[in-house]
C-alpha cells in the first residue's frame, strides 16, 4: 500500500529503466542541485550591493541548510561523495539562483521522481527496492522543507 500512493497507471515508462539507471538518475539530479547551491553559497555578496545584511545572512543560511539537505539526500542513494563539477553554465545558474524559484522546482522534480520510481517498482515487481527509494525521496522533501525555514 505504501508505493501505491504514488503509482500512476497512465505514466509511460521507458523500457531502458533499471535500478542502476534510476539510482544514477537520482544521484545526478541531486549532484547538479547541490552544485548550484554550493556556487550560490560561495559568492560573498551574491544578492548585490543593495541587499541588506539580513538578506545576505539569510541567503548564506539557506545555502548551508539546503546544501546539507541535498548531501543527506545523496547519501541515501550512494555511499560515494556527490560529484561536484562546476561548469560555466552551472556557475552562471548558481550565481543567479533565486530560492523562491529553486525550491518549488526542486520539490516538483522530487514529486515527479516519486511517481516514476513507484510506478516502475510496482510494474517491475521491485517493491522492496521501490519502498527504500520512495523513503529516500520523501526524506529529501522533508529535509529541504526544513532547510528553508526562516
Reading the block at residue 117, the C-alpha cell is 520510481
pLDDT band at 57 (very low <50, low <70, confident <90, very high): confident
pLDDT, tens digit, for every residue of 128-146? 999 999 999 999 999 999 9
Dist CA 34 CA 30 (whole Å): 6
Which are the contacts of 81, defined by CB distance < 8 A and separation ≥ 6? none
CA 19 to mean position of chain CA atoms: 18
Tens of pLDDT, residues 80-121: 999 899 999 999 999 899 999 999 999 999 999 999 999 999
pLDDT at 83: 86
Amino acid at each position: 500500500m505504501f508505493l501505491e500512493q504514488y503509482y500512476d497507471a497512465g505514466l509511460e515508462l521507458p523500457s531502458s529503466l533499471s535500478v542502476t539507471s534510476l539510482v544514477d538518475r537520482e544521484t545526478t539530479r541531486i549532484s547538479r542541485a547541490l552544485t548550484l547551491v554550493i556556487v550560490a553559497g560561495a559568492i560573498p555578496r551574491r544578492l548585490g550591493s543593495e541587499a541588506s545584511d539580513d538578506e545576505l545572512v539569510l541567503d548564506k543560511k539557506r545555502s548551508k541548510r539546503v546544501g546539507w539537505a541535498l548531501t543527506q539526500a545523496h547519501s541515501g542513494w550512494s555511499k560515494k561523495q556527490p560529484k561536484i563539477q562546476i561548469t560555466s553554465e552551472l556557475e552562471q545558474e548558481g550565481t543567479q539562483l533565486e530560492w523562491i524559484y529553486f525550491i518549488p522546482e526542486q520539490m516538483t522534480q522530487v514529486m515527479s521522481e516519486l511517481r516514476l520510481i513507484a510506478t516502475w517498482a510496482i510494474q517491475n515487481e521491485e517493491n522492496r527496492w521501490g519502498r527504500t527509494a520512495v523513503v529516500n525521496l520523501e526524506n529529501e522533501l522533508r529535509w529541504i522543507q526544513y532547510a528553508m525555514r526562516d
